[in-house]
Amino acid sequence: MRPRVLPLVVVLCAVCSSAAAQWHIGLEIATNSYKGSSQDTSGEAEGRPGGGLALALLAHRGWGRGGVTLRVSLSNPGFAVAGKSLSITDKTTGQLLEVASLFSTPVGGIGPSGAVRIELGPALHLWDFDGEYRTRLGGIGALAYEWPVSSRFIGGIRLEGMLSKSWFDATEVPPEFERQLTWRYGVGLGLRYRL
């Protein structure tokens, strides 16, 4: 019986070690800017999330050339009213929890070991605006460059865009404002560890 178990244990160890090599966990810090959400009918001002830094934890699983990333980020974009020459942001409200699933594939490389990847996927936004929560679904698209830092660490920089419906409910905007799509663009810097 023992001679049959030993090969099975060896095969299972080999499969598990190769599967574990495909998993990464990481941290990312990003700076984001928002547009849209609500705008007055004259086009002079808009009410929107304010922007700022976001911190994220992520888990990545690669399969061959493709992969999927689950990212959970927390930020305090606040609420901004912006005109043509003046923008006022209230950072005491407007906290955001975002959960995103990003599907990625390489589209090129830079240098001998760097990879350029395209990432697309859905995102769930939980925006806390003065103690009232809004849940919005959106889509994310990103272009990322990744490079090996060491045998277990991978560095990355990401240019990202997000689009969702307005983060305001219809009853929250004044009559002279209309709701619009909310969109975000940002740049992130991250570090992943291969398990």
What CATH number should be reported for the domain holding residue 86? 2.40.160.20
Q: 149 lies in a domain?
A: yes
**What pairs with residue 130 in β-bridges?**
none
Identify whether the C-beta of residue 48 lies closer than 8 Å to the C-beta of residue 178.
no
Domain that holds residue 181: 24-194
Q: Which residues of the chain have pLDDT under 50?
A: 1, 8, 12, 14-17, 20-21
Q: 97 lies in a domain?
A: yes
> Considering only CA atoms, which of 35, 38, 50 is closest in space to residue 173?
38
Q: How many domains does the chain have?
A: 1
Q: Looking at residue 3, what is its pLDDT? A: 54
Q: Looking at residue 190, what is its pLDDT? A: 96
Q: 84 lies in a domain?
A: yes
Those residues with Cβ within 8 angstroms of residue 111's Cβ, 6 or more apart along the chain or in another chain: 147
Q: 12 lies in a domain?
A: no
Q: 5 lies in a domain?
A: no
Q: Looking at residue 102, what is its pLDDT? A: 96
Q: 120 lies in a domain?
A: yes
Q: Looking at residue 1, what is its pLDDT? A: 45
